[in-house]
Structure 1
Amino acid sequence: MPLPFLTADRDLKADGRAPESIALPHDEPDHWRRPYRPGPWRVGAAAVFLLLASFVLLSALIIALAGSLPGAAVCAVVAALMIALALRLVRVGVWVSARGLRQVNLLRTTTLPWSGVAAVRTAQQPVRWLGLPRTVQGQALIVERTQGGPLRALVTDHNGDFLSRPEAFEQAADVLEAWAAENRP
């Protein structure tokens, strides 16, 4: 299921142009947008969390009707946390705007202005498979800072967005490198 409101290619279908014909698909460069679509593994995991949250909310309703309001409140809080986790899981990735590059992790976000970016490149290295401790040989998008060490490689060809989709990884890496080349001083 395409989620065009989460990506930078939402305006391409209205123009009738193919995504390959536009190097930098952005009409509003000041808005933060992800230059690629969330992958099926990430969306599937978020859907499972939402499904589990619906069951927990149903159990909260049953517990509340049975007369135990503190138990229902605990179930409602657990469901709210599961919904928040699902939404955050969908937002994980690299976002760009004219102001800089934003790396969204599950628990924290790192924003780097374009003046702080030294280089954006792909590299062959061991990468984590679906974010698990197991590593495999793959490609990672490396963002090097002008001061300090590089950012943690969040965009890899084996993460939840690009597993089994190497052409999507190449396209996303090209678009991120183009954003960096256009906006770096």
Structure 2
Amino acid sequence: MSKAEAIAQILKVFRQYGYEGTTLSRLSKATGLGKASLYHYFPNGKEEMAQAVLNFVDEWMKANIFVPLKGAGTPRDRLEKMSENVDRLYCGGEQTCILAVLSLGEAKDLFNIQIQQALKSWIDTLAEVLVEARIEPTLARQKAEDAIIQIQGSLVLARSMDDTAPFQRVLKRLPEMLLENGNG
């Protein structure tokens, strides 16, 4: 198993168990790698693994959220593409947000700055698209924040209620909600 493949499996464990609940035994079982092999890839242990997961998600978001939002097409087209990719990121609402998971407990102290930056970048990029759609900058920022709140809240609800319908509903309505009062 390559390091990249291991990170993808490690991500699943952190999403399911959080930072504190993720153990080397669970990571070993999920990756099929022995503890020695995990330490070969990640000499600093669980903290380095969580950092690798955050870096992986950060790169994924850059390629699949930020690039499409900054790309060609109308603001509506770009927001619809973002919604499609957010759906993929969270497996239709079946997966939790790793940023949310790693913003709790001990992990918050370790990764708070990186998580804040990821969310700020997402909000800023969304707001830029909305300003381009002729929405006043202050309102654009508020709408961008509200979009992240709706996405994250619907993920919590989907997981808690074991029903992805609220998440799907939010993503379906998101472009329209964001563009209200604009010309996008």
In the superposition, the TM-score normalised over structure 2's length comes to 0.25
Which has the larger helix fraction? 2
Which has the larger strand fraction? 1
Question: Larger Cα Rg: Structure 1 or Structure 2?
Answer: 1
**More relative contact order in 1 or in 2 (CA 8 Å, sep 6+)?**
2
